Amino acid sequence: MFTSIVRSVRSHATGHIRQCKTMSAIEAGKKAAAFAAVDENIKNNQKVGIGSGSTVVYAVQRLAERIKNEDLNIICVPTSFQANQLIQEHRLNLGTLETCPKLDVAIDGADETDKDLTCIKGGGACLTQEKIVASCAKDLIIIADDRKDSQVLGTTYKKGIPIEVIPMAYKPIQMKIQDLFGGEVILRMAQQKAGPVVTDNGNFVLDWKFSNPCDDWDKCNTTIKLIPGVVETGLFIKMAKVAYFGTADGKVSKRSV
């Protein structure tokens, strides 16, 4: 029995080590992509949109280093409460779209990106503000680890396309999308509280798990947005200029349109 327990502990420890190594590799990819994007796209006297999510943390880290070392004058406009906190924690110049309605560049992550740089975003429920900030920038730069690089949407990201909706309308929207396009539309539930996820705008998020990739994402996106009660979708179409994908060994591949 003792031997069995030892084997169980060793097995658990080995699994934990493997998991840590995997996570470390993923983080290395995120960091490599973020650093490359900041180094190649950020210049002095720019107004920069700061996205949300774990990969953007590395972008802000690198941006703070460059601002300090190169004495850069950069104004940062956040896409979410999280991004706002990141900017303030690194003591960067915080701006808003009221004071900076036109941005030079926006740097943001993605849940998945296809061959045309159409992106699924909104895994962190910040899709509406992310899209608004991206639309105000001359260039949208996507940063991610190489798991997010796909030829076709839905290949690696299985959680579906996020859709931000007015709370009172979530049920009819849910049914209409399923009737129009098939698949399954799920109300996203919170992890640390009872009830649904609530966005920074006070809305709900539906996740559309489509059965088959759409032949025309642009048309699909427009159709969904015309449903009363839909605020925004997590489909970012013809918005990204370039995407940086980092690998576990610190290499970065770049794809542009």
Residue type, 21: K
Q: Which helix (H) or strand (E) holds 50?
A: strand 46-50
Distance CA 133, CA 195 (A): 28
**Residue 165: which H helix or E strand, with range?**
strand 161-165
CA gap 7, 107 in Å, rounded:
47
pTM more than 0.85: yes
**Topology at the third CATH level for domain 161-232:** Alpha-Beta Plaits (3.30.70)
Return the domain boundaries, the chain: 29-151+237-256, 161-232
Query: Cα(48)–Cα(133) distance, rounded to whole angstroms?
Result: 9
Given the residues 65, 112, 130, 184, the one annotated as active site: 130
255: its two tokens: 């794809």
CA–CA separation, 159 vs 110, rounded Å? 13
Task: Supply 13's token pair.
Answer: 């420890």
Length of the chain: 257
Catalytic annotation on 130? yes
Residues 6+ away with beta carbon under 8 Å from 62: 34, 35, 38, 39
Task: Identify the H or E element spanning 246.
Answer: strand 240-246
Question: How many helices (H) and strands (E) are present in the chain, helices listed first?
Answer: 6, 14
Amino acid of residue 55 = T
47 phi/psi in degrees, rounded to 5: -105, 120
Going residue by residue through the chain (257 aa), what tens digit of pLDDT does each one get?
Answer: 434 433 433 444 334 334 444 558 899 999 999 999 999 999 999 999 999 999 999 999 999 999 999 999 999 999 999 999 999 999 999 999 999 999 999 999 999 999 999 999 999 999 999 999 999 999 999 999 999 999 999 999 999 999 999 999 999 999 999 999 999 999 999 998 899 999 999 999 999 999 888 889 999 999 999 999 999 999 999 999 999 999 999 899 999 98
C-alpha–C-alpha distance, residues 213 and 245, integer Å: 22
pLDDT of residue 18: 42
How far apart (Å, rounded) are the C-alpha atoms in residues 43 and 74?
8
The per-residue pLDDT for 213 is: 82
Does the domain at 29-151+237-256 match CATH 3.30.1490.190? Answer given as no
